[in-house]
Amino acid sequence: MRICCERMRAQLERGCPRHDDPYLCPDRLVVHSAEFGVWGLVVRGEGRMAVPIAFCPWCGTRLAGLGEAVRSSVGKDPA
Ligand SMILES: [Zn+2]
Ligand SMILES: [Zn+2]
């Protein structure tokens, strides 16, 4: 998987000693679902919930996964 920036890399690679579950960790802002291949913004207080995002909240790079899914649902580029 391509990591767009260091902030995103830190979110992925930083393990928290106090929270095994990233949804419970206040330091964790985004999660990556390997199952669905999308990134999500963690929503607090709603159980294990995340809002899918298509762009990196820090650097604005289009993220693989949801972005790809959206594009393929729209159709292939005529080229
Ligand atoms: Zn980024
Ligand atoms: Zn934590």
CA–centroid distance, 3 to ligand 1, in Å, is: 7
Ligand nearest to the CA of 3: 1
Distance in Å, CA 71 to ligand 1 centroid: 20
d(CA 56, CA 12): 13
Residue 79 CA, ligand 2 centroid: distance in Å: 47
- For residue range 12-71, list pLDDT tens digits in order: 887 789 998 888 898 899 988 888 788 899 998 767 888 999 999 999 999 876 545 445
Tell me how far the alpha carbon of residue 78 is from its chain's centroid.
29
pLDDT reported for residue 66: 54
Between CA 7 and CA 60 the distance in angstroms is 12
Q: Looking at the CA of 12, which ligand is closest? A: 1
Given strand 38-43, what is the order of strands in its sheet? 30-33, 38-43, 49-53
pLDDT of residue 79: 55
Question: In which residue are the tokens 């949801």 written?
Answer: 66
